[in-house]
Amino acid sequence: MYVSKEELEVARRNASIRVLEFLDKARVVGLGTGSTVETFIRTAIDKLADKVLVASSIDTAITARSLGLAVVDSLSVDRLDIYVDSADEVDPLGRMVKGGGGAMTMEKILAAAAALRVFVVDELKLVPRVPHEKPVPVEVVPKALSIVRRMLEDVGFTCRLRVPQGKRVPVISDLGGAIIDVIPPKDWEPETISRTLDNVPGVIEHGLFVGYADVLVIGKLNGKVEVITYRMPKGSQ
């Protein structure tokens, strides 16, 4: 089925409109990274104008500032009221693959610091189980790149160093880590993959998000919006 960029943008915008209701009581708002998050920022610009905004990446900070929004350094906050992000893949249990833009470390940190985590996707991001077609991005200490890659391969991962188009050097994140995209054995559950990656020395963070989605807002191509609530903190809308 062919889906145009315009159809996807409408689905993402409809989902973003639904997220606005979660912003009413929030003061400190964390923002993820990617095209869907950019759509959300543009949709929510009026409601975000009086919030304290913390961006997960330089790209997101630039987008917000270009729209006249103020972004503070993450060093100036120790908790967030809400974190809004998207995902590259998400399954029915709210488990996600993220990090296509290489920002998964700060994304996971901000999500962990938030009282409420809301993820916005279009319906094409839904998969039966993660990881599905997307590899899992892994950020590693650059000086340990070869060692970490070997350790990952030894425990069963297929590894591909992420490099800029036409280059041989690795993609480096905003935090200075190198990015490896990994494919785990097909029979591994997401929880097993996450624990294994967490236990490899030299891995800074990875893009498998298990247990981070409180609310999933899905923009459908037919114009409808589906909201799945996994957990809602007391006092939240």
* Structure token digits, residue 136: 């899992």
Q: 120 and 29: one domain?
A: yes
Q: 151 and 218: one domain?
A: no
Give a yes or no: residue 163 inside a domain: yes
Q: 21 and 92: one domain?
A: yes
- How many whole angstroms separate alpha carbon 230 and alpha carbon 113? 17
Q: 73 and 140: one domain?
A: no
Q: What is the mean predicted confidence (pLDDT) over 146-172?
A: 94
pLDDT reading at 148 higher than 90: yes
Count Cα atoms within 13 angstroms, Cβ side, for 36: 30
Cβ proximity of 96 and 230 under 8 Å: no
Q: Using alpha carbons only, give the angle 31, 195, 203 rounded to the nearest 5 degrees.
A: 65
Phi, psi of 178 (to 5 degrees): -90, 150
**CATH assignment of the domain containing 66:** 3.40.50.1360
Give a yes or no: residue 199 inside a domain: yes
pLDDT at 46: 97
- Average pLDDT over all residues of the chain: 96
3-state secondary structure of 167: coil
Q: 9 and 120: one domain?
A: yes
Task: Please confirm, yes or no, whether 107 is among the known catalytic residues.
Answer: yes
Residues 26-58 pLDDT 10s: 999 999 999 999 999 999 999 999 999 999 999
- Residue 198 contacts by C-beta under 8 Å, 6 or more apart in sequence? 206
Rg (CA), the chain: 17
pLDDT at 235: 53
Q: 78 and 167: one domain?
A: no
Residues 188-235 pLDDT 10s: 999 999 999 999 999 999 999 999 999 999 999 999 999 999 997 755
Q: 87 and 102: one domain?
A: yes
Give a yes or no: residue 88 inside a domain: yes
**CATH assignment of the domain containing 180:** 3.30.70.260
Which range marks the domain in which residue 31 is found?
Answer: 5-128+210-229
pLDDT at 167: 81
Q: 103 and 214: one domain?
A: yes
Q: 106 and 179: one domain?
A: no
Q: 28 and 92: one domain?
A: yes
Cβ proximity of 8 and 29 under 8 Å: no
* Structure token digits, residue 15: 């989902």
Q: 219 and 186: one domain?
A: no
The total of structural domains in the chain comes to: 2
Phi, psi of 202 (to 5 degrees): 100, -15
Q: 190 and 73: one domain?
A: no
pTM attached to this predicted model: 0.95
Q: What is the mean predicted confidence (pLDDT) over 129-136?
A: 97
Chain centroid to CA 129 = 17
Give a yes or no: residue 235 inside a domain: no
Give a yes or no: residue 91 inside a domain: yes
Count Cα atoms within 13 angstroms, Cβ side, for 31: 34
* Structure token digits, residue 14: 């409809």
Given the residues 107, 153, 189, 205, the one annotated as active site:
107
Give a yes or no: residue 236 inside a domain: no
- How many whole angstroms separate alpha carbon 22 and alpha carbon 203? 34
Cβ proximity of 206 and 194 under 8 Å: yes
